[in-house]
Structure 1
Amino acid sequence: MILTSHSAMENTDSKTGVWLGEFTDPYYELLDQGYEITLASPQGGQPPIDPISKLTENLTASNRRFNDDPAAQTAFGTTRKLDAVNPEEYDALFLPGGHGPLWDLANDETCARIILDFYNSGKPVAAVCHGPAALIKAVELQPELLNGKRVTAFSNAEEALVMKSDNIPYKLETRLKELGADFHAALIPMTSHVEVDGLLITGQNPLSAGPTAKALIERLQTNEVPETN
């Protein structure tokens, strides 16, 4: 799992970072299915957490579990630097959101090369909410990557609802469309929505984080079933 290291927003003193539930929901979905998880980030160490995601109204069951899980907290506080990650050692990639990826992961060549290594090796790449921003740099390196691909991410309508449009460098939905993606979103903002297109699995918003992980697990389990002649 690759997490953002970025906490600053534009035109405001408000902070951002990882949206906690978008990390904890997938983390425990994968952990409970027996997968080993390595956490990484551009700067390594403790990623910033969006303070709004820790408010009571945004807490999920997995957030509470995380608060009582010293092992998970230690893993989160000691993420590996991206340049120390060897994609060959892993079966899949997951990119949680929070607004932070709009700045760092979207412009991080190491992250982009990791994404492309997984994708071009036939390994699934999953991302949720603003996590798909990491695909922007990957498209710069491999321009056809998103052409016609069904994807989702935090929508322009949702950005307006959370009133962050003036505090971000661009709207992710618009940028993904510009890069050739076939963008789809739920009819009702802030409801769960997941798109699966081959190896690319994307979720729209915080409520989509767990379902995105479940779709990734389904893809991994399908790959594990031996083919019959």
Structure 2
Amino acid sequence: MPTNRAFIYSLRDIVKDFVSFLIVWYRLIAKISYAIFTRFESVKDLLVGFLYRQRGRFAKPFVHTSMMGLSAAGVMLAPVVASNHPNFFQDAQQAQTPIILLASTQVEPESTDLTQKVRDKILKYTVEPGDTLSSISKKFDISVDTILWQNDLTERSTIRPGQSLEILPVSGIAHKVGRGDTIYSIAKKYKANAQAMVDFPFNTFSDDETFGLTVGQILIVPDGVEPAAPAGGITRVLILPILTIHR
């Protein structure tokens, strides 16, 4: 037992000494590192100051030397490339031709004017000072009648700045589909072409094969004409003879 206890004490002392050694070694390394970094910072400050004072002085010689080196490398490598790849320069020239053509092509910017874009829905337009029905129709490339029909106006109606108008994508009628409506019945009602309604890209159908319609949807009828209001008829009065009976 005394031998084992002495061994344990001896091992504990060894571990303690080793830990003390590590601590001293760490402090020494930290001190040396601090001294090295401090000296490096002072040297770095001197170097940075020198380069800052000499900034731009060696730029021109450096550029000239670099260009001369690149030129010399090109002269030395050109025969090697030409011997190993006979069609290299010809292929490179052909490959650059489309790039030159594309670079010289000017692409016109697309206009973002709402009046020139293909419209896919009914717009809300606010009347501006100086606007007339004729000027608005020209601005949106639709007929005056289209504006009148869509906004429940007549030829005698006047528009005022700030007034809101609905503008259709094309000249014609915007029809709200009712129960029993079909492409052909709507075309007949507005004296329009059923095929033009089908071909209009923003008209949708519940069935693309039969051109089925959904009740309540808005269907654009290109070149449709508002049905004329029934003319006022003449009231016929039937005058019956008065029969007088004498007693």
| TM-score bracket, shorter-length normalisation | under 0.3
**Structure possessing the higher relative contact order (Cα contacts under 8 Å, 6 or more residues apart):** 1
Normalised by the length of structure 2, the TM-score is 0.21
Normalised by the length of structure 1, the TM-score is 0.22
